Structure 1
Amino acid sequence: MAAIKNAAKVAGLVGGAIAASSVQAVDLPEDRAETMYHLYDGGGVIAQGPAVLVRKSMLDRVSLSGSWYVDAVSNASIDVVTTASKFKETRNQGEVGLDYVVRDSLIHVSGSKSVEPDYQASTLSFDLTQDVFGGMTTVVLGYSHADDKVGQHGTPGWVGTAHHWQYRLGLTQILTPRWTASANLESINDDGYLQSPYRLARVFGAYVHENDPTTRESKALKLSTTGDITPDGASNRRSIRLDYRYYWDTWGVRGHTLELGYNRNLAPGWLLESYVRYYRQNHALFYSDNAQQQTLYFTRNRELSTMHDFGPGATVSYTLRSVPGKYDVKLSGSYQFIDFHYADYTVGDTGKPYSFHASVFNTVLSATF
């Protein structure tokens, strides 16, 4: 309740600032058709599948979109094979969205539904985007609500439900003709069944079902800056990007993400987007690899342990065909390497800290028209 009141107060303040400022008309997203194939391979988990997106505007004020995403998962991760058998399942997610330009604002509403054999999730989102101060500043307000149903193979019905509320506030500022900066703040409240019916914790060396709190409040602040560093007279455009994100929650987790990106045109029609990312966090208050005392809450979820990951990534895009003012067809491929290290989550056989590598591939064929 307090979070809702605070979000309403922030929305009122920002709304007043918008009303008192000069504005500039915003544009609808481009008409687009897109198909993608994705693959994640790491730590005994393989997830892959296709995705499609179609977006079409009407009457110069409304844009409708629809997408479908498929994840075929083969899971033999360490936390699965330690206490159970590997499994395969498929997740399907559909989403529909509407963008509407009213006066000098862009309103976005979307809803999604995700279904897998033992989990269902539905989400409704609302975002408002407005340019102020002559278009030099962009303000974004957002809200999402999600409901989850959690099941377990072999158990009829649902073992639990969870509800999630997310509030977003973003600000982007043009600093100079070549530099922009942005700040984005989000707050999430979770309530209900927030654990896994399959995951086991270890207490005095014995495996027992984990017990997580039924509420969680988390916040994240992301600061970004992007600049055009193309030398005078150069034909190939170049830019750099620096992002920092700080995360904290009531479970005691604190996370830091740092990302540095570099983009440039390689040749006519070719674009390279590259980056390197580092993330680290401390463990949750009730996390333990092997608890030596009985407490109300306990977990051995490695995503709540002390860990860090690091890795580079790159995307190469090529314009297959472009007719200015009519259509643009592009093909892109991306790869990301991630090196995970867990400081206080150990491998059962050796007792050594767990680590693994993961690779993420994406290929996208898109057309704007």
Structure 2
Amino acid sequence: MAVTDRHCATAVLGWLLILASGVQGATLPEDKVDAFYHRYEGGGMTIDGPSVLVRKGVGNQVSFSGQYYVDSVSAASVDVLATASPYTEERTEYTVGANYLEGNSILSVSYTNSSENDYEANTLFLGITQEFFGNMTTLSIGYARGWDTVMAVGNDTFEEEADRQNYQLGLTQVLTPNSLVGLDFEVITDEGFLENPYRQNRYIDPSDPTNYLYQPERYPDTRTSISAALRGRYYFPWRASLRGSYRYFTDDWGIDAHTIDLGYVHSLGPNWTLEGGVRYYTQDQADFYSDLYDYGNSQTHLARDKEMSTFSGLTFSAGVEYQWDQVAIPGVDRLQLGLLVDYLDFEYDNFRDVTASGGYLPGEEPLYGFDSWVTRASILFEY
């Protein structure tokens, strides 16, 4: 039952990892081994596991990479407790990739397979990065194609498909020796089985208005989303930097979302680095979402996923890194240890906690909210 609750938690983890990545120019990535342990805990869910990334160059123009990533899930969230039983499972993910450098251009290709007991996802990515005007301007173009298989535990005959396409365009401009700005644009199209085979929505019992019944959710079979992000970074002369970004998201399901992110990085001496940040997220509900429908099959499309509701989230981040530039390990040029911790608080405006005790009438239960912690401990070798 992975797709029942995993969506929010893995989205958070993936989002944090993307935000942690930097802007890459026309130079091949360093040869390195990057291993870390991640843990998400909150909202009745615990997700943790290791990840190992190995990157190695061959000559001056080619670099290969491979990554192994594991999620061990233990879930007893409000959605699970309302209609099912707590569960545990594991997801494994493998990625292989290559970069090719030619002049001021880098061509990238990667393939990712993600597998769990009821979901199989495959993604192929192609991208190109080009520097212009004396390496002051960087243009990035990317395309990803995904094909997923959705299954259901306990129902061997259930198998559905979903296809995804992702188009990316990014532009980074160096403004001064101490500052740069970037603009990212993304279009995603989904087609196929896009709902959750386990999730249900609720409606008022026609024979007893003090009670409610459940029925399976039903989504449209297509979705197109568009996002645009403006980001900037300023480098201070005291070995520190300030970053900021704003991202707008909209889709044809009626969801509009805004994200504001601010962060600060400060070096203490040659070895220690501290960082902190804050991020605010807010979104409107999907057009077909409802916490409680008036009657069964009242609409063509039905959803009670809390991630389709109106909600907001606030994240506070803090981290520390220590690195050795001269390491007494043969073949290792740099060693770095890191610890990053995020605290997240989510509040839902129109999703109610049906597991709350107190004998509430349908639609009068308390609104749901939860907090969570994300921890990432890492060790990096450059060679």
Question: What are the superposed Cα offsets for residues 314-345 of structure 1, whole Å, 9 maximum, x if unpaired?
Answer: 12100145369961100000000000100100
Counterpart of 1:228 in structure 2 is 235
| Paired residue secondary structure (2:122) | strand
Cα distance in 2 for residues equivalent to 1:175 and 1:54: 33
Q: Which runs of 5+ in 2 are unaligned?
A: 1-24, 205-211
**4+ runs of 1 displaced by more than 6 Å?**
none
1:238 matched to 2:240? The reply is yes
Aligned partner of 2:346 in structure 1 is 340
The answer (yes or no) to whether the contact 1:185–1:222 under 8 Å persists in 2 is yes
Partner SS, residue 123 of structure 2: strand
Q: What's the counterpart of residue 315 of structure 2?
A: 311
TM-score by length of 2: 0.87
Q: What secondary structure sits across from 1:212 in the alignment?
A: coil
Which string of whole-angstrom CA distances, capped at 9 and with x for unpartnered residues, describes residues 93-130 of structure 1?
00000000123310000001000000000000011000
Q: What is the distance in 1 between the residues matched to 2:325 and 2:234?
A: 28
**Is 1:322 matched up with 2:329?**
no
Match of 1:257 in 2: 259
Aligned to 1:207: 214
Contact 1:75 1:88 in 2 (8 A): yes
Which secondary structure state, in structure 1, belongs to the residue aligned with residue 85 of structure 2? coil
Q: Is the 8 A contact 1:149 1:158 kept in 2?
A: no
* 3-state secondary structure, aligned to 2:257: strand
1:191 paired residue number? 191
Q: CA deviation at 1:49?
A: 0.5
Deviation by residue 1:250-288 (Cα, 9 ceiling, x = unmatched): 000000000011111023300112110000000000000
Letter of the 1:265 partner, please give it: S
CA RMSD of aligned residues (A): 1.5
**Cross-structure match for 2:176:** 176
What TM-score, normalized by structure 1, do the two folds share?
0.90
Does residue 1:116 correspond to 2:130, yes or no? no
Within the candidate set 266, 286, 289, 1:287 is matched to: 289
Instruction: Determine the C-alpha separation between the residues in 1 that align with 2:217 and 2:76.
Output: 20
C-alpha deviation, 1:228, in angstroms: 1.3
The residue type equivalent to 2:352 in the other structure is: T
The answer to whether the 8 A contact 2:151-2:160 is kept is yes
Partners of 1:104 and 1:267 lie apart in 2 by 33
Residue in 2 that maps onto 1:299: 303
Q: Partner of 1:322: helix, strand, or coil? A: coil
Q: Residue 350 of structure 2 contacts residue 367 of structure 2 at CA under 8 Å; is this kept in 1? A: yes
CA contact (8 A) 2:332 2:381 kept: no
2:375 to 350, 361, 365: 361
Assess, with a 3 A threshold, how the Cα gap between structure 1 residues 144 and 77 changes in structure 2: closer, same or farther. same
Q: For 2:284, give the aligned amino acid.
A: N
Q: CA–CA distance in 2 between the matches of 1:246 and 1:153?
A: 36
* 2:326 alignment partner, SS class: strand
**266-275 vs 69-78, which moves further:** 266-275
Give the AA of the match of 2:340. Answer: S
* In 2, Cα distance between equivalents of 1:217 and 1:102: 34
- Per-residue CA distance 1:138-191 (angstroms, 9 max, x = gap): 000000000111111111154311000000000000001111000000000000
Counterpart AA for 1:357: D
Of 101-110 and 37-46, more deviation after overlay is shown by: 101-110
Instruction: Report SS of the residue matched to 2:286.
Output: coil
Contiguous gaps of at least 5 residues in structure 1: 1-24, 231-235
- Give % identity: 39
Q: Determine if contact 1:246/1:255 at 8 Å carries over to the other structure.
A: yes
Q: CA deviation at 1:296?
A: 0.3
**Structure 1 position 239, deviation (Å):** 1.2
Q: CA–CA distance in 1 between the matches of 2:215 and 2:350?
A: 18
Counterpart amino acid of 2:78? I
Give the corresponding residue for 2:22: none
Amino acid at match of 1:297: H
